[in-house]
Structure 1
Amino acid sequence: MIHKLEHIGVRVNDMDASIRFYTEVLGMKLVKRAPLADGVELGFLSFPGSDDVEIELIGRGSDGLSDSGKVHHIAFTVSEIEAEIERLKAHGVTMIDETPKTILNGAKLAFFFGPDGERLELFQPANV
């Protein structure tokens, strides 16, 4: 079952400049900054007092996308990602990831397409 909007991922060219913009100009706070094994770097930001929805900055890496400065995906929190993948498939949803990927200390994710080809993500936190 989908619980809430988790985060919105935005591709960026310069992680430091983007973090400065979102913190100094928009008043957000940097919650976490983490490199992944494939050269991608992630930065998570939220507004003080609103930690339950974040912007995820996605920098570097080579996933074949060149859409910097654009929304990369919208993520939704789930508690049982495998069951949710099967539910979406039963509705005829096109999955990008048939099997969840594990990142950042055990969090699981799986991407799929919305009706207009938009990238959407199921996100299961590591503590679930």
Structure 2
Amino acid sequence: MIHKLEHIGLFVNDMDASVRFYSEVIGLKLVHRARLEDGVELGFMSFEGSDNIEIELIGRGSSDKPDNGKVHHIAFTVSDIEAEVERLKGLGVKLLDETPRVILDGVKIAFFFGPDGERLEYFEPKQG
């Protein structure tokens, strides 16, 4: 029986830059960072007080190694998407959506990119 989503693994080229991005831009905290015997570095990040879902940053050292699969995007729920998009602009984050899009009769979404070109999404649920 599956109980929950454990984590999302994401290849990164620069662990320090990715930890900084996910901390400062997204608001995650670094829970644990370790290097495995084979040299691969891992960084587990989650929201304060919500350790039940994590993003696992997987340091691969260089972009020429195969990804062994793709993650299309990671979505984060926000309460004021317009304010969050403006905050991203102020931080110089590369945006796919300069303004939020409305889908499904009221859900707002906006895509942007992380430091390795990973696609990220802010998601504001339909109001009322």
CA radius of gyration, larger in: 2
The TM-score with structure 2 as length reference comes to 0.49
TM-score, normalised by the number of residues in structure 1: 0.49
